[in-house]
């Protein structure tokens, strides 16, 4: 085995620029089997890092010399999640390796970013987009062929739950929805995108995930605004059409109708009925999530600097009940067994306000700032590949407000690879346009 590994390392070390061909193949297949084959993405990111890291080690000056400050800012953005978790653990006086495993995937993504800042990655991003389209189709086929993996009546694959599955399927859709393939006639591109939207709607409804409902609506709303950005009147008509389509789904799908109404009743009871809302809060998952959020806020308030460790014992039920009157024993034990139910709050709970805010900034807000504001002239130019990152940033950001989007190692691995590739592409595009990045 060691002999084969050495031969492989020598091989990828000799092909230099041609290693991007191998990377393209890995990136193409990564989204295809992302949600249907266990450990596929984890294996992919390690292979990508091995290829890119070996090239960097052979000639480090090529990759790190004569770099502007913004290169280091982008690199820092990718490594912050790991070091924020590490320093938070140091501050608490404990090091838990398993909790560093997920954030460490962003270190691997940083190596991919450094590599592609020196080499053209347009073809690699094309492969990511095409693979994402096939990934949506693959999830659809998996649900049809393997219904035994459903969680009761909710669609799932054998290792991805009904909450994570649709949210990342929407992310895969976004990676192709904003893509303009030059090799395919525009008419066929519209047909393919329409088919993928319908397949995603099927997957989202079959999974009955309300987080995915919201993520899909936000993605489609932004897509309509983006596609018709040159005409305000067309944007209005496009949004009206989207609203009509969503209303039809709401009224004609029993699952959507029931889940939305249940969610609304839970939220209304939580905000407007006070302590009398205990019954509805206890019986609706949306109400339970809001109470779980209050528990997170209590933990954040009492562990501002270094956070609250996953393995630490929660305060007693009676203590929390004093500060959270709507808390029930059922919700308390959900918190004990499942932890936080929102990525935003989970990061702040685990890492404290300071380090957690840096993590959220690096994962979501700074990338959005780059693509939506600082380099918007590149993002909104015709046929730009820099519109693609918004296709995954928007649904994952929206989902992170109600679920943990990085609770599986494969999810942060996939997200990290996407962000690294888009950062590298942005770096090169901004440089070619005379605006140093």
pLDDT in tens, 394-421: 999 999 999 999 988 999 999 999 999 9
Closest by CA position to 254, among listed 139, 153, 149, 142: 153
The count of residues in the chain is 437
Neighbours of 351 (CB within 10 A): 30
Nearest to 169 by CA among 194, 199, 126: 199
**What's the pLDDT score for residue 274?**
54
Convert the pLDDT of each residue in 186-214 to its tens digit: 889 999 999 999 999 999 999 999 999 99
For 92-101, the pLDDT digits (tens) are 988 888 889 9
pLDDT tens readout for residues 30-86 = 999 999 999 999 999 999 999 999 999 999 999 998 888 889 999 999 999 999 999
Q: Using 50, 70 and 90 to split pLDDT, how confident is the model at 324?
A: confident
Q: Percent of the chain at pLDDT above 70?
A: 92
By three-state DSSP, how is residue 185 classified?
Answer: coil
Query: Do residues 177 and 193 lie in contact, with contact meaning Cβ atoms separated by under 8 Å?
Result: yes
381: left (phi over 0), alpha (psi -120 to 50) or beta: beta
Q: What is the pLDDT of residues 294-306, one digit of tens each?
A: 999 999 999 899 9
- DSSP lists the bridge partners of residue 154 as 151
Both tokens of 394, joined, read 């928007």
Torsion of CA 48, 50, 52, 55, to 10 degrees: -160
Pull the structure tokens for residue 187.
């008419």
Q: What is the rounded CA–CA span in Å between residue 53 and residue 88?
A: 27
User: With 50 as the cut, is the pLDDT of residue 27 above it?
Assistant: yes
Percent pLDDT > 90 in the chain is 68
Q: Terminus-to-terminus CA distance in the chain, angstroms?
A: 42
**CA dist., res. 128 & res. 114, Å (int):** 18
Which of 12-16, 48-52, 245-249, 339-343 comes out lowest in average pLDDT? 12-16
- Domains of the chain by residue range: 2-229+342-432, 258-338
Pair of tokens at residue 330: 């059922």
β-pair partners for 151: 154
SS (H, E, C) 262-301: HHHHHHHHHHHCHHHHHHHHHHCHHHHHHHHHHHHHHHHH
H or E segment to which residue 373 belongs: none
pLDDT of residue 279: 53
The first and second tokens of residue 303, run together, are 């562990």
DSSP state of 77: H
d(CA 16, CA 12): 7
- Please answer whether residues 328 and 282 qualify as being in contact, where contact means their C-beta atoms are separated by less than 8 angstroms: yes
Tokens of 136: 């949506």
Q: Is the pLDDT of residue 118 over 70?
A: yes
Q: Angle, nearest 10°, between helix axes 2-14 and 40-58? A: 60
Task: Quickly count: other Cβ atoms within 10 Å of residue 26's Cβ.
Answer: 18
pLDDT of residue 6 exceeding 60: no
């Amino acid at each position: 085995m060691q002999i084969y590994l050495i031969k492989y390392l020598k091989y990828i070390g000799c092909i230099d620029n041609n290693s991007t061909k191998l990377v393209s193949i890995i990136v193409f297949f990564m989204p295809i089997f992302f949600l249907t084959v266990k450990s596929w993405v984890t294996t992919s990111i390690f292979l990508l890092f091995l290829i890119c890291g070996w090239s960097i080690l052979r000639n480090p000056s090529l990759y790190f010399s004569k770099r502007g400050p913004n290169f280091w800012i982008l690199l820092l953005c990718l490594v912050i999640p790991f070091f924020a978790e590490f320093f938070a653990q140091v501050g608490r006086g404990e090091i838990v390796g398993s909790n560093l495993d997920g954030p460490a995937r962003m270190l691997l993504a940083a190596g991919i970013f450094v590599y592609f800042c020196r080499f053209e990655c347009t073809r690699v991003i094309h492969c990511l987009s095409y693979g994402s389209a096939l990934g949506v189709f693959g999830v659809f086929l998996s649900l049809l062929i393997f219904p035994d993996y459903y969680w009761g009546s909710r669609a799932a694959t054998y290792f991805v739950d009904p909450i994570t599955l649709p949210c990342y399927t929407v992310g895969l859709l976004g990676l192709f929805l904003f893509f303009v393939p030059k090799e395919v006639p525009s008419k066929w591109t519209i047909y393919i995108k329409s088919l993928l939207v319908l397949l995603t709607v099927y997957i989202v409804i079959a999974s009955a995930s309300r987080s995915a409902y919201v993520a899909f609506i936000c993605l489609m709303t932004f897509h309509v605004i983006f596609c018709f950005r040159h005409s305000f009147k067309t944007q209005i008509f496009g949004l009206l059409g989207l609203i009509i389509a969503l209303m039809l789904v709401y009224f004609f799908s029993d699952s959507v109708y029931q889940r939305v109404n249940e969610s609304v009743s839970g939220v209304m009871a939580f905000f407007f009925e006070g302590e009398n809302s205990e019954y509805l809060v206890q019986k609706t998952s949306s109400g339970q999530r809001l109470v779980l959020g209050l528990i997170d806020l209590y933990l954040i308030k009492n562990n501002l600097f270094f956070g609250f460790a996953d393995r630490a014992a929660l305060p007693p039920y009676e203590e929390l009940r004093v500060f959270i009157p709507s808390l029930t024993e059922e919700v308390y034990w959900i918190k004990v067994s499942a932890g936080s139910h929102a990525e935003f709050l989970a990061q702040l709970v685990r890492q404290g306000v300071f380090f957690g805010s840096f993590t959220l900034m690096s994962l979501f807000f700074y990338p959005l700032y780059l693509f939506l504001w600082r380099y918007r002239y590149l993002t909104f130019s015709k046929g730009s590949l820099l519109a693609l990152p918004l296709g995954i940033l928007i649904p994952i950001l929206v989902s992170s407000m109600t679920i943990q989007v990085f609770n599986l190692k494969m999810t942060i691995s996939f997200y990290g690879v996407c962000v690294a590739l888009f950062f590298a592409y942005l770096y090169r595009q901004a440089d070619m346009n005379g605006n140093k990045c």
